[in-house]
Amino acid sequence: MAVETAPAKTTTGQKLHRIHVVVNGAAHDVDVEPRTLLVHFLRENLGMTGTHIGCDTTSCGACTVLLNGRAVKSCTLFAVQVDQASIATVEGLEKDGKLHPIQEGFHQEHGLQCGFCTPGMMMTAVGFLATNPAPTELQIREAISGNLCRCTGYVNIVKSIDYAARKLREPAEGKAPDVR
């Protein structure tokens, strides 16, 4: 006869929840307190500190990750809500030592200065470009309107995302994007 085990609890008696979540393609089964925010889960439980905590008030977008492909603010989401979901963070962009086109864009177009907003900007851009592969400048600006940057004035960020859009549209590999 199977023995029913009591659900895991914290020292204060809070019941823990076992969540199954795939982060950048790797599955994790972790016990979390319901009040654990997704951003804390990523940074503290999984040790993935690429996702930043900026304002912590749903304003700045530094904590942006993809939830089943859609860009969301991970400071305004509980880890228990993403049970069975797929999460993409900045750590998953580079593949086999090769930068993702959005990373290459930020490099080529000087899309960052202090870099604090960059992971969130890039994740927003990746989610956006998946739905709009050939955006106008205005559409790019609208797409990043939930992400704050206090250094660049946004001009080079917009250029970086445009670079990535063009690169992602290229059929062949290794070809440089069109010069505007």
Partner 1 sequence: MIPASFEYEVATDVAHAIQLLASSGGEAKVLAGGQSLIPLMKFRLAQPASLIDITRIAGLSGIRENGELQIGALIREADLEKNAIIRQRYPIIADTAAVVADPLVRNMATIGGNLAHADPANDHPATMLALRASVVAQGSKGERVIPIDDFFLDTFTTALRPDEILVEIRVPKPAARSGGAYLKLERKVGDFAIVGVAAVVRLDESGKIAAASIGLTNVGLTAIRARNAEEKLRGQAPDDKALAAAGAAAAAESQPVSDLRGPAEYKRDVVRVLTQRAIRKAVARAKGGN
Q: Work out how close the CB of 14 gets to partner 1 at its nearest, in angstroms, rounded to a whole number.
A: 5
Pairwise CA distance, residues 144 & 121, whole Å:
7
Around Cβ 15, how many Cβ atoms within 10 Å?
12
Comparing CB distances to partner 1, the nearer of 64 and 156 is 64
**# chain residues binding partner 1, by CB under 8 A:** 33
Q: Work out how close the CB of 100 gets to partner 1 at its nearest, in angstroms, rounded to a whole number.
A: 19
Q: Is 87 strand, coil or helix? A: strand
Comparing CB distances to partner 1, the nearer of 42 and 77 is 77
Q: What is the dihedral of CA 67, 156, 117, 124, to 10 degrees?
A: -10
Pairwise CA distance, residues 20 & 29, whole Å:
5
According to CB under 8 A, which one of 47, 57, 95, 174 is a site residue for partner 1? 57
Pairwise CA distance, residues 123 & 128, whole Å:
8
Q: Work out how close the CB of 54 gets to partner 1 at its nearest, in angstroms, rounded to a whole number.
A: 12
Site string for partner 1, 69-98 (x = CB under 8 A): -xxxx--xxx-xx-----------------
